[in-house]
Structure 1
């Protein structure tokens, strides 16, 4: 038997050697990729392909904000933060918009991670500065991380759950150690950390919601605000990072302004009247019918569809399964089959949309056909804990002939409801105790009511009462955080490299966290297992397989009624704006646009200068 003291010496020496070996294999880089493949852009690249380095500077970009705002702190679980506030902050890295998931240094000049992904180190740029001239240091990075996970919204605790500690190694060097090895995404996620000034927040309450302009380090600072009505940003002339390759061709406007509108219909009319410059259209009906105006015909307003190569994600009518009536999967399926997408798409959306059939639609990550042998290796251990249909057939939402007559689906829904213990009495659907089946659909968009009214009629035919409750943004946020709703319409956006954010959507630990995006209330150990497997994928092939397995289980759970998607961004803008010829894959890239020096601000026609009432929908 080895002497205890001697054994400790050997043990410590072995650990030290292992750490040295790990460090020796790592090397600082200008970029990190998910699976250690070479990044698209080399260390000496001059600008992203989707940016114009010669874009002229100047002018003002005017946009519309939704409803109102009451805080300039977007990091806490209080209030409705102002649009564009992220322009005032710099992050450690920036993700390119034409790669699956690659991070390039911003505040961090170099990036270094352990070969086994057990830690990541950031080397900060000495020239990085806050707007007050003070240098950004590793202490600021550590302060930011600790503050966000202790005082920020719950999403930060979920997002950074695998971080064990943050270590300040020197003034310009900081390291994050992880609880588990193998989380490939975590080093890149930490690069998205916005860096907050420790010295500025030392005299302020981070948890308080207020309208004091924050001290940041980004390309813009808050110029002035009109509380709840508008916010003005001005470009920082001596911005420390303006010559970096990742910023070249961006932040071209001298000012960025958001004016707030409580009604999107009024906002659209204001856009057409020249009150602001850019509009992202989310209504198929409006795209087809609302732009037959002189300014479009003569080219002063440009309508353009820009390709969207992102996974579509899942927008849907989301069930809150914390409610007893919605805990039975048969009930949720019954409510799902009563939504007539084909009629809705034809009559309300001019046939513009594609039905969403996956939580990762429009990508290779979507589950189609039967499970592959690789998927079955993941799913078989969960047999009996997940729906049997996962193993039997691919998920497909029901399809109608768009006539509006769905008697077969109503019979199917009735059979499911009776199997779940519901019955019809006096033309009302009631449970075993005679309590009527009532649902409240919580809504913030007035435009969506016309989509829900036909669905309400389909439910009423089976004796189910659906109340559509529209509230203002503040009430909506409060009720969302307190989980006070039966159904809502929302989305679960996805990237081409899903990872740690899936915990925020589906993990049991987030079901009771106010402010998390586990809107459904999922507490399913099988889904937790699938999420962790997805996060732990070591190759792209593994990631695709594990994502498809998770997708199947979510779909057959009937946790949402899938809505629809479109594969372009529908943009409308006044012709003084221009954008690069090459557009990014995963974003509109608005901050790479610029104002043409020779084109003046729009002069609306008198017939278009006044907003007019018009029915509008907001579908995405």
Structure 2
């Protein structure tokens, strides 16, 4: 998936990183069932809260929201490995036992479950189902459905569910409407993570192959929206269920305000933008600051029919860039990866692509208190990293910063340094100008991109020129959505675009992103193939932290290992959401801590009624 496609999806959805919480002091033990649970301390909202702080409980309901995706889809089941579904479905059509408040780092409140209980050490968690909870077909949500969903998703579903399932010792019914999950190890976050697994209807899948469901096998959910129609590869129409069971829940008041949400698919971002200008779409998220300033001055903006809104965020930068596959040569050599970082002339690329308006990501958790600090590691961070000193990438302990160019197109100083790194790695330029190793093999690699993202291609065009001057041959392979998904799931690439959204509450998902155990698991999100004992240990330290100080130190230490490892060439920092939208679309004045995402648009937006 292209860089901007990944950012769009994560900005819209705040994908997998939003599913974890600060592994910090858990506060008073829950002695009895509670309306909510926090990773540390108590939930910020009181037991009698009436709505989420960023929702307008008096928002009018009605109207149609039309959103656009690029590419296509060949599945309407977002819970399995097979196929490419519209990314929005798993957030709009299905529910979990608990739901997040995106105005806190990590707290959950009852949704399909009316209460939650756990022991002081959080070795188990028990949920009590809301007796009113129903699927969209009117059938009740049962404990049997819950147990089946955890087991089926964990064994036959998308790889993102396997991690939790592998840490569950047993799941059982403990009473009427009660289900208890007991965990294998000491991992306090699991009591929260478990509450976010989507619940499906078991009876629908009896006698069917869940993992290989066809396009017309649409999973039944319990959420406010259901799929009412679709045209294969072109659009999907969601309708708000008038009989939705949970419309009066505090976590649902002021949310899901549109009667209809239609997802239209376009060949590429350029076509999508023209469709928005022509009034075919209700809104568009823009991720290029230069384009935001330059291209959003068309007539509908000038006369007020389109409004430009900027949405602040306090989440970490995450990582956006181009990832190198360390499972294969030449990127299994950190000296080659370092040369690739040096050859990437960000300052010139930024000036060309965004007019220099967007800053650069400097580390995985930059733009937040969890990010690594400049200079040598000190204090608790140094103590955590010290046992791995001999195996750490250069700069992890002493300090590492991304190379900076002089702003010129030639970038001579950094290219000289890159050439030195390559020569030390055994790649030497011959008389024909081609860089080869001792066996005579040319230094070449392929860059896998998805069709339709012109910005990715523009970035790579500039990058290729620099690599050519180093004697490196590169090719670009453009593929459609389905081929891209298949190739990245099989790790069949040298370099490709990359996006990992990270939260203020990183936890178990870090094992999926960078853990050694996930490096060779097909479909894993560890695209770079990282196998680092130091990274594994820092993740373990995060998961076992009992204080804010220890947690922050472990996260900063992990940030050092990842950044100094030179696995991803970072690009633009998306420090705010930019949404152009029709003037009749409104949103609350209170912006959630995490900024923009599906929990914001479309969840709490509404369409203002037309004047009589």
Q: TM-score, normalised by structure 1?
A: 0.91
Q: Quick check: 2:171–2:179 contact (8 Å CA) kept in 1? A: yes
CA distance, structure 2, for counterparts of residue 293 and residue 176 of structure 1: 55
Give 1:391 deviation, angstroms.
2.0
Q: Quick check: 1:340–1:400 contact (8 Å CA) kept in 2? A: yes
1:32 maps onto 2:44 in alignment: no
Match of 1:174 in 2: 179
Match of 2:118 in 1: 113
Q: Quick check: 1:83–1:258 contact (8 Å CA) kept in 2? A: no
Match of 1:475 in 2: 483
Q: Which runs of 4+ in 1 moved over 6 A?
A: none
Deviates most, 218-227 or 195-204: 195-204
CA distance, structure 1, for counterparts of residue 529 and residue 42 of structure 2: 39
Once the two structures are superposed, residues 496-543 of structure 1 have per-residue CA deviations (whole angstroms, 9 ceiling, x without a partner) of 010000010111111111111010011222222222222222222221
Q: Of 434, 452, 463, which aligns to 1:428?
A: 434
Once the two structures are superposed, residues 191-244 of structure 1 have per-residue CA deviations (whole angstroms, 9 ceiling, x without a partner) of 111111111122422111322232111101110010110000111111110000
Matches of residues 218-233 of structure 1 in structure 2 within 5 Å? Answer: 218-233=223-238
CA distance, structure 1, for counterparts of residue 30 and residue 283 of structure 2: 48
Q: Quick check: 2:123–2:188 contact (8 Å CA) kept in 1? A: no
Q: Of 455, 461, 466, which aligns to 2:463?
A: 455
1:98 maps onto 2:110 in alignment: no
Q: Quick check: 2:151–2:165 contact (8 Å CA) kept in 1? A: no
Q: Of 316, 330, 333, which aligns to 2:321?
A: 316
Match of 1:513 in 2: 521
Q: Quick check: 1:359–1:551 contact (8 Å CA) kept in 2? A: yes
CA distance, structure 1, for counterparts of residue 242 and residue 306 of structure 2: 30
CA distance, structure 2, for counterparts of residue 97 and residue 285 of structure 1: 29
1:396 maps onto 2:401 in alignment: yes
Once the two structures are superposed, residues 435-459 of structure 1 have per-residue CA deviations (whole angstroms, 9 ceiling, x without a partner) of 1111100001431111111110000
User: What secondary structure sits across from 1:285 in the alignment?
Assistant: helix
Q: Quick check: 2:324–2:494 contact (8 Å CA) kept in 1? A: yes
User: What secondary structure sits across from 1:565 in the alignment?
Assistant: coil
Q: Quick check: 2:256–2:604 contact (8 Å CA) kept in 1? A: yes
User: What secondary structure sits across from 2:307 in the alignment?
Assistant: strand
Match of 2:311 in 1: 306
Q: Quick check: 1:319–1:560 contact (8 Å CA) kept in 2? A: yes
CA distance, structure 1, for counterparts of residue 394 and residue 428 of structure 2: 26
Match of 1:438 in 2: 444
Match of 1:7 in 2: none
Give 1:95 deviation, angstroms.
0.5
CA distance, structure 2, for counterparts of residue 556 and residue 291 of structure 1: 38
Give 1:164 deviation, angstroms.
1.4
User: Over the residues paired in the alignment, what is the CA RMSD in angstroms?
Assistant: 1.5
User: Highest Rg: 1 or 2?
Assistant: 1
Matches of residues 93-242 of structure 1 in structure 2 within 5 Å? Answer: 93-181=98-186, 183-212=187-216, 213-242=218-247
Match of 2:64 in 1: 60
Match of 1:464 in 2: 472
Give 1:284 deviation, angstroms.
2.6
Where does structure 2 lack aligned partners over 5 or more consecutive residues? Answer: 1-27
Q: Quick check: 1:446–1:470 contact (8 Å CA) kept in 2? A: no
Give 1:283 deviation, angstroms.
2.3
Q: Of 585, 599, 604, which aligns to 1:592?
A: 604
Once the two structures are superposed, residues 350-392 of structure 1 have per-residue CA deviations (whole angstroms, 9 ceiling, x without a partner) of 1121111111111101001232211122111111121252222
1:504 maps onto 2:522 in alignment: no
1:295 maps onto 2:300 in alignment: yes
User: What secondary structure sits across from 1:123 in the alignment?
Assistant: strand
Indicate the structure whose relative CO is greater, using CA pairs within 8 Å and at least 6 residues apart: 2
User: What secondary structure sits across from 1:122 in the alignment?
Assistant: strand
Deviates most, 380-389 or 430-439: 380-389
CA distance, structure 2, for counterparts of residue 387 and residue 228 of structure 1: 45
Give 1:25 deviation, angstroms.
6.1
Q: Quick check: 1:158–1:510 contact (8 Å CA) kept in 2? A: no
CA distance, structure 1, for counterparts of residue 314 and residue 387 of structure 2: 34
CA distance, structure 2, for counterparts of residue 51 and residue 289 of structure 1: 32
Q: TM-score, normalised by structure 2?
A: 0.92
User: What secondary structure sits across from 2:391 in the alignment?
Assistant: coil
Match of 1:262 in 2: 267
Give 1:491 deviation, angstroms.
1.1
User: What secondary structure sits across from 1:242 in the alignment?
Assistant: coil
Match of 1:550 in 2: 558
